[in-house]
Structure 1
């Protein structure tokens, strides 16, 4: 027996000594004491009754370890034997052989205590192990992972994705994707976490259930407003207030807790998230100075159409290919999303045309804008940015982009091969006129969506939607407003904050 490894295991799994000790775990303590007690919905998508190897990836500091500890606590609360649950946090400079030794040490030393029942193995920050998938492959081929469900987490999202793809046939069989992505909480989760009365309404009308949200969304696509949406009309002012909070904090629990507790976000918190981004880029051999110059250019262009060349021209970066490479990396890190121009003829994206870039989460925007935006505290820069109505609209459009991507993924029947660039686009017509989004699921749904986060809607604001309908023959269009909720002949108008609850 490797006593050093077993000693580490005992330290990482205090519930082996006493199941109640999970309640003293710092992640659980912090969660219980936080203003936002977030239980991520993604937790409901794991099947712990089969021999499966899940990967759980996502940005750093988003709460992956907390989710794992929540799952462990749930298992213990369900009466699962403590020795059937193993957690191990990996450090840098660990090899696939070390991973194999950790799991074998656990299995060998708890064999009698587990009594032949299923075990649950949580491998945290496994991306610290270079070629970690080789260790899993070896254990699977040796039959050591029979009657086990494995969850492997990592913050190096690109490594986790690529490594998982190198385990064909050695992860078990599931109708749902085994590659889980944990992102900052959506606006609906944010509202449910902080708005007690709104949370009760969401539960009353089943808006916390994805199937019901999808039903409401499809009714909007069919030019209908369900009664459940009408019941939320009196709450639009409060939802808009929550949306302004969300534009400041994004969906990351630590940031939300700080902001709601003290009215600000500490500079050290901005630095923590910036260091995480820069650290991941460094591990991917990306140059920090090049990245900083590019981010300045992207922030100026966000929400507008641009090309790799136009982004390059505003910097001294030598090649537009370098720009494309960095943006691709930032997409894989879930920091940026890129939308391509839609062709109403081919019903596909025009990849050689200009693109539109959005930030996935408002706080990532504030972190990077604070980094390049001068010497003032990052929170002051963020607050000043949001004082401008146009800037508010830019970030709102980014939030809508992120939520449409997540909606398209949740509805997709092909999650294993999901690409949002095959479903979501923007549309350009005339010399310089656009529609913010086109949603085309390839199955007959082709809907233009325009974001107008402003107090007054004019007929000119509808030009894009009307032109798209005339160009394609489609009957519906969606206008996302600030507070207008109505069913018109040509379109459905719904407040952004209410729409975000449904997606």
Structure 2
């Protein structure tokens, strides 16, 4: 009996709204900490209905727990009784039985209640978690309950999610990824404006926010229409450069951005807390171990990806260089990609009208912070030294920008399961070895994108492919449009890119 009481106390601690109602935000540790940050970064919402199960995929430290707590606050404000909302941090549970007991306690106290909300945080830490969701659906609980689960292990979410056909999961999976540059800029503008001394700069930032919030681009549009949208924002290139410089330093992890802004607002030097990097790397390696993988293999592969960053190579070469079997190398890379650590970019074969399964690949980290954190921890260096060294080297920063562009292009169209990036985003190289950084198929036609984050851009040096009729070259300074090629500053282009509906 005592152990049951202790578990009930634990449940109450995880669900402070049971005691405090809508005032719980004052006492909830996660929300209180988030509210104390310079910026509370808002994410897109989505509608939830009974008879459905929703899954949010995203890596560690990206804000999934905070997102769920904001769902609680919204539900209470919308009239849901606080006692009809259950939140479980499954990191603290050791078995399916514990998870089921907690859910059963909640259901027993709400036997006749309708419009229940069940939130399961880091559900993939529980073995066979899908069987519990299957039980909830098959037993009819979802007729009166909405269920939202989160997880950091994309592999577990994918494999186990596939075992839930016809149980309300179809079309209800979402990504929670690092902030895009557009989100980052729009939501940091006010803070930077408030802490700036020059009146002209503050007024310019206010005007930038007004215009940027109303303008965006679709890659399905013709180059003239894209150029027209870019023209409205190009007068603010200097200001966008300022924000892109910060984004290159911090990436899009909300916690990292807030720590940087906190230090900057009190006049300290640019700084990323090494503890954030250490925690992130520990979580990454810990999750890999939980999936039955060897930490030493993961470390070897990650070091090699860093050393080869932005270059193309085959899986065979990578496996030889790290002295791990070809099959094991692919297995670990897929795990890293499904855990939202890396993006594997495949080459495209225009003759076969598909990606080259055996061709060379390019591997990028899904955010600059991931690159810096892994390089610092795997090399035993301070993350701020790694960042400074990277951003001072033109070639290195160019590779970081290529990675940012690639992940942003993926976010414009991707949908879990139904439209993965490998179905619409690739790179290309010809028989002479010349490359085109990105080939994207936003509709029935192809768009070639080349990132040249350096001095003057020359049109003649960009690889042309007969199957591609229009090109965008992302420059550092130049802005120009000719018949089939648009040259535009990279930060201007990224600031106007919207994310897909399934990217929160």
- Structure 2 CA distance for aligned equivalents of residues 161 and 304 of structure 1: 29
Report the counterpart of residue 343 of structure 2 in structure 1.
Answer: 337
Matched, 1:499 2:488: no
- Structure 2 CA distance for aligned equivalents of residues 154 and 225 of structure 1: 36
What is the TM-score with the length of structure 1 in the denominator? 0.88
- 1:38 positional shift: 0.4
- Structure 2 CA distance for aligned equivalents of residues 119 and 376 of structure 1: 48
- 1:143 positional shift: 1.6
Tell me if structure 2 keeps the 8 A contact 1:53–1:149.
Answer: yes
Tell me if structure 1 keeps the 8 A contact 2:93–2:99.
Answer: no
Tell me if structure 2 keeps the 8 A contact 1:426–1:435.
Answer: yes
Report the counterpart of residue 303 of structure 1 in structure 2.
Answer: 310
Tell me if structure 2 keeps the 8 A contact 1:125–1:153.
Answer: yes
Q: Which has the higher contact order (CA 8 A, sep 6+)?
A: 2
- 1:319 positional shift: 2.0
Report the counterpart of residue 35 of structure 2 in structure 1.
Answer: 32
Match runs of 1:235-250 below 5 Å: 235-250=236-251
Tell me if structure 2 keeps the 8 A contact 1:224–1:487.
Answer: no
When structure 1 is superposed on structure 2, of 24-33 and 360-369 the one drifting more is 24-33
- 1:202 positional shift: 5.0
Tell me if structure 2 keeps the 8 A contact 1:337–1:358.
Answer: yes
- 1:277 positional shift: 0.8
What is the TM-score with the length of structure 2 in the denominator? 0.88
- Structure 2 CA distance for aligned equivalents of residues 50 and 255 of structure 1: 36
Tell me if structure 1 keeps the 8 A contact 2:439–2:447.
Answer: yes
Report the counterpart of residue 121 of structure 2 in structure 1.
Answer: 124
Q: 1:199 to 1:395 in 2, by over 3 A?
A: farther
Task: Name segments (4+ residues, structure 1) moved above 6 Å.
Answer: none
Report the counterpart of residue 135 of structure 2 in structure 1.
Answer: 138
Report the counterpart of residue 405 of structure 1 in structure 2.
Answer: 410
- Indicate the SS of the match to 1:417: coil
- Structure 2 CA distance for aligned equivalents of residues 27 and 198 of structure 1: 30
Q: 1:142 to 1:376 in 2, by over 3 A?
A: closer
- 1:366 positional shift: 0.6
- 1:281 positional shift: 1.2
- 1:204 positional shift: 4.5
- 1:24 positional shift: 2.1
Match runs of 1:68-467 below 5 Å: 68-91=68-91, 94-111=94-111, 116-171=113-168, 177-196=171-190, 201=208, 204=211, 206-207=213-214, 213=216, 215=218, 217-219=219-221, 221-225=222-226, 227-262=228-263, 263-315=270-322, 317-373=323-379, 375-409=380-414, 415-441=416-442, 443-462=443-462, 464=463, 467=464
Tell me if structure 2 keeps the 8 A contact 1:96–1:133.
Answer: no
- 1:7 positional shift: 3.0
Matched, 1:14 2:16: yes
Aligned-residue RMSD, C-alpha = 2.2
Report the counterpart of residue 482 of structure 2 in structure 1.
Answer: 488
- 1:125 positional shift: 2.1
Q: 1:94 to 1:73 in 2, by over 3 A?
A: same
- Structure 2 CA distance for aligned equivalents of residues 492 and 402 of structure 1: 20
Tell me if structure 1 keeps the 8 A contact 2:456–2:477.
Answer: no
- 1:323 positional shift: 2.1
- Structure 1 CA distance for aligned equivalents of residues 108 and 391 of structure 2: 57
Q: 1:261 to 1:7 in 2, by over 3 A?
A: closer
- Structure 1 CA distance for aligned equivalents of residues 458 and 229 of structure 2: 28
- Indicate the SS of the match to 2:493: helix
- 1:35 positional shift: 1.7
Q: 1:256 to 1:206 in 2, by over 3 A?
A: closer
- 1:454 positional shift: 1.4
Q: Deviations over 1:93-123 (max 9, x none)?
A: 53323322222211221346xxx43111111
- Structure 1 CA distance for aligned equivalents of residues 126 and 174 of structure 2: 19
Tell me if structure 2 keeps the 8 A contact 1:6–1:106.
Answer: no
- Structure 1 CA distance for aligned equivalents of residues 150 and 207 of structure 2: 32
Matched, 1:476 2:470: yes
Tell me if structure 1 keeps the 8 A contact 2:186–2:213.
Answer: no
Runs of 5+ consecutive residues of structure 1 not aligned to the other structure:
none
